[in-house]
């Protein structure tokens, strides 16, 4: 399995940008896909973006045109670039890995967008 450590969260004003990072260690060779999820207070965790082992990407409709997922394979890091942030983007953001072993979650990083 893999271990995931997120970073890059914080407080930002509406309209601003943040870049989240997810450092991956462990059985990287057996990864199938990396995802970002988020969970706002009182709401269910929702999927935000995915990047597959082949490099294909997809983002949720709610963030399309504002968020982008990417990776640096040499540094075993996955990123979530978040632009034009809205108050409703406030949530804990989680890195998630899918692989031959199953699924792994990071501990989450808080993103707070103020109006």
Which pLDDT does position 29 carry in this prediction?
A: 77
Beta-carbon contacts of 50 under 8 Å, excluding residues fewer than 6 positions away, are 33, 34, 35, 36, 57, 58, 59, 69
- Terminal Cα distance for the chain, rounded: 40
Structure tokens at 90: 């406030």
Which pLDDT does position 27 carry in this prediction?
A: 77
Which pLDDT does position 94 carry in this prediction?
A: 98
Backbone angles phi, psi at 53, to 5 degrees: -65, -25
Residue with tokens 């699924």: 103
Average pLDDT of each block of 10 consecutive residues along the chain (115 residues)? 94 98 87 96 97 96 98 94 98 96 94 97
CA angle, residues 86, 93, 81, in degrees to nearest 5:
60
- Which residues of 8-108 form beta strands (DSSP E)? 10-13, 18-26, 31-39, 46-52, 57-59, 67-72, 77-82, 91-99, 102-105
Which pLDDT does position 110 carry in this prediction?
A: 98
Query: Are 4 and 95 spatial neighbours (Cβ–Cβ below 8 Å)?
Result: yes
């Amino acid at each position: 399995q893999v271990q995931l450590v997120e970073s890059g969260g914080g407080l930002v004003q509406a309209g601003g940008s943040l870049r989240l990072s997810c450092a991956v260690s462990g059985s990287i060779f057996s990864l199938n896909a990396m995802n970002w999820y988020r969970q706002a207070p009182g709401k269910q965790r929702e999927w935000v973006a995915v990047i597959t082992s082949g490099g294909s990407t997809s983002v949720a409709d709610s963030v399309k045109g504002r968020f982008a997922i990417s990776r640096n394979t040499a540094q075993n890091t996955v990123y979530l670039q978040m632009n034009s942030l809205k108050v409703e983007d406030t949530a804990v953001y989680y890195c998630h890995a899918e692989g031959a072993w199953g699924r792994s979650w990071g501990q989450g990083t808080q993103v707070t967008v103020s109006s």
